[in-house]
Amino acid sequence: MLRQLAALTRPVPAAGPRALALAVYAGAMGEHFEARESGVEGVACVDDAARAGSLLYRLWAATGNEALKQWADGLLDFVLWMYAGEGLWHNFILDWQGARNVDGPTSAAGINFWQARATHALAEANCSRDVVTRALDVAGAASPPSDVRAVHALSVLTLLERAPDQRLTTRLAAWCDELAACQRGGMLMNSPDERGRPHLWGHVQEAVLADASVVLERADLLQLAVTSADEVFADVIESGFDLPHVHSYEVQSAIFVMDRLADVTRQPRYADMARKARCWFDGRNPAGAAMFDRATGRVADGLDDGRVSDRSGAEANITACLALQGDPEVLSLARSWMRAW
């Protein structure tokens, strides 16, 4: 995973001498290509740089390897350069010269995933506090879908871990009430208009409510988190994610929820579900195929009708590494990592 993330990492000189970003997609031969799912999007994005920066800071904290911090610093330089002001971000650059995509539907400034993830990354890195404060204030004045709001709440939880703040505590309570209200029969949904079962991609509301239940001393939030997690994730994890299409990010979201529930509830069954979900990367899936090729360091983008994708892009490798950051092999590589781009 780290090897593939390094292969995807490229400098963005326009963003500063240290600035780095990650190529969105890579093919079977390692070739980089741009995102075009919603028209012309770009070659790299804040969404990926923010999450990768958080990942690398965590690995640096776990290993003390300064090379990881330097890598993370470069990615955060890119995130800050993409800041549009007023608590908002553009997402994509159109080329490696650094031309910003300022108005595409997946790049325009607004209260969206890339705004929430950039805010969370800066909060985790404990930098640019004024920008984080402005971003949370702007987010508080909006009504984004629950899956986006959950990432905003993660930023507040991160800040409250460092110091008590009544204003942030009040905001966290209000946002948790928003998340709790967006449910159907005890199952937390990603938006009010979502139908059927909620998508798993980025679905971490149960984790947020579990952690917030401790901070806010609200048992009702934990009960809802448990009820929803059992309904949304339990059978899917037990089946090995037996779904038509499964992406690494969906599996990582499930793992994150199970890990947080295991920590808060102390119930072994959640730790067991987290363990089973992690095994998806090594073949506990309907294809019986390893999604993480430990020999090459590549994580496949996903499974489509039982077929392993030959692509290995940024999101798949970032989310897999977040899911497996405690894996002995991952930690061993992180300890010895040297700059490789």
Q: pLDDT tier at 254 (50, 70, 90 boundaries)?
A: very high
Q: What is the pLDDT of residues 269-278, one digit of tens each?
A: 999 999 999 9
Q: Are 198 and 187 in contact (CB under 8 A)?
A: yes
Conformational region of residue 86, where left means phi above 0, alpha means psi within -120 to 50, and beta covers everything else: left
Q: pLDDT tier at 154 (50, 70, 90 boundaries)?
A: very high
Return the residue matching tokens 């029969």: 185
Q: What is the mean pLDDT of residues 208-222?
A: 98
Give percent of the chain above pLDDT 70.
Answer: 99
In single-letter form, the type of residue at position 221 comes to: L
The pLDDT assigned to 18 comes to: 96
Q: Encoding tokens for residue 293?
A: 């090729």
Residue 100 forms beta bridges with which residues? 93
Q: What is the pLDDT of residues 226-237, one digit of tens each?
A: 999 999 999 999
Q: What is the mean pLDDT of residues 254-266?
A: 98
The pLDDT assigned to 59 comes to: 98
The pLDDT assigned to 336 comes to: 96
Parallel, antiparallel, or unpaired: how do β-strands 298-299 and 292-293 relate? antiparallel
The pLDDT assigned to 87 comes to: 98
Q: pLDDT tier at 30 (50, 70, 90 boundaries)?
A: confident
The pLDDT assigned to 13 comes to: 95
The pLDDT assigned to 130 comes to: 97
Q: Are 8 and 52 in contact (CB under 8 A)?
A: no
Q: What is the pLDDT of residues 112-131, one digit of tens each?
A: 999 999 999 999 999 999 99
Q: pLDDT tier at 290 (50, 70, 90 boundaries)?
A: very high
Mean pLDDT of the chain: 96
The pLDDT assigned to 311 comes to: 94
- What is the model's pTM? 0.96
**Over 90: is that where the pLDDT of 341 sits?**
no
**Over 80: is that where the pLDDT of 37 sits?**
no
Query: Looking at per-residue confidence, does 84 or 305 come out higher?
Result: 84
**Over 90: is that where the pLDDT of 35 sits?**
no
**Over 80: is that where the pLDDT of 67 sits?**
yes
Q: Are 341 and 18 in contact (CB under 8 A)?
A: no
**Over 90: is that where the pLDDT of 33 sits?**
no
Q: pLDDT tier at 34 (50, 70, 90 boundaries)?
A: confident
The alpha carbon dihedral of 197, 202, 206, 212 has a sign of negative
List the one residue out of 44, 146, 156 whose CA is nearest residue 92: 44
The rounded distance, in Å, linking the Cα atoms of 250 and 173 is: 26
User: Other CB atoms closer than 10 Å to residue 295's CB: what's the count?
Assistant: 7
**Over 80: is that where the pLDDT of 340 sits?**
no
The pLDDT assigned to 29 comes to: 82
Q: Encoding tokens for residue 229?
A: 């997690």
